[in-house]
């Protein structure tokens, strides 16, 4: 009698070994996909907040340029200022205003300067060391702008600057 050695061979994997290896591969795939998911969410969060920061910086730069060219101010409060300034050699009247409602836009004239404004405050100073005033006075020389913008997942970014109008 002859025995077939190929049938009696112990080479290869058993069914239990294959099932265990498939379970391990499945668990590793689930962990890797969860890691990629968190990585993608972090990227999107960072990108949206970078956009918010950029919008805030652009708005603050625009406000600085506008307020720097003020010739006269007809009224000024903590959330609005109406002024006349020089643009391209001629006088132009404009109003900067915020409604006071969270996440409302900030307007420059009829145009939206920036949206999702959480808070906006204008402070008026007679000098760098004087107390802050909440409304415009004839002796005002410095305007402080404080702007809070809501970004991704409710993160609030704060921007502050002081402007000393050169034509007052």
pLDDT for the residue numbered 84 = 94
Alpha helices in the chain (DSSP H): 15-68
Q: What is the pLDDT of residue 12?
A: 79
pTM of the model: 0.77
User: What count of Cα atoms within 13 Å lies in the side-chain half-sphere of residue 52?
Assistant: 23
Q: Which pair of tokens denotes residue 34?
A: 């969860």
d(CA 76, CA 74): 7
Mean pLDDT across the stretch 11-32? Answer: 90
pLDDT per residue as tens digits for the range 68-86 = 999 999 999 999 999 999 8
pLDDT tens for residues 126-156? 998 899 999 999 899 999 999 999 998 889 9
């Amino acid at each position: 009698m002859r025995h077939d050695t190929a049938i009696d061979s112990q080479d290869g994997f058993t069914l239990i070994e294959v099932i265990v290896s498939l379970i391990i591969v499945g668990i590793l795939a689930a962990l890797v996909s969860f890691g990629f998911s968190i990585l993608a969410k972090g990227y999107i969060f960072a990108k949206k907040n970078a956009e918010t920061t950029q919008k805030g910086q652009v708005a603050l730069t625009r406000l600085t340029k506008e307020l720097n060219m003020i010739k006269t101010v007809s009224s000024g409060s903590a959330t609005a200022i109406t002024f006349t300034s020089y643009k391209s050699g001629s006088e132009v009247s404009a109003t900067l205003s915020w409604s006071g409602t969270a996440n409302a836009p900030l307007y420059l004239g009829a145009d939206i300067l920036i949206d999702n404004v959480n808070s906006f405050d204008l402070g008026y100073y007679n000098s760098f060391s004087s107390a802050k005033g909440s409304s415009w006075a004839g002796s005002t020389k410095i305007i402080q702008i404080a702007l809070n913008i809501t970004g991704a997942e409710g993160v609030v970014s704060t921007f502050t600057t002081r402007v000393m109008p050169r034509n007052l």
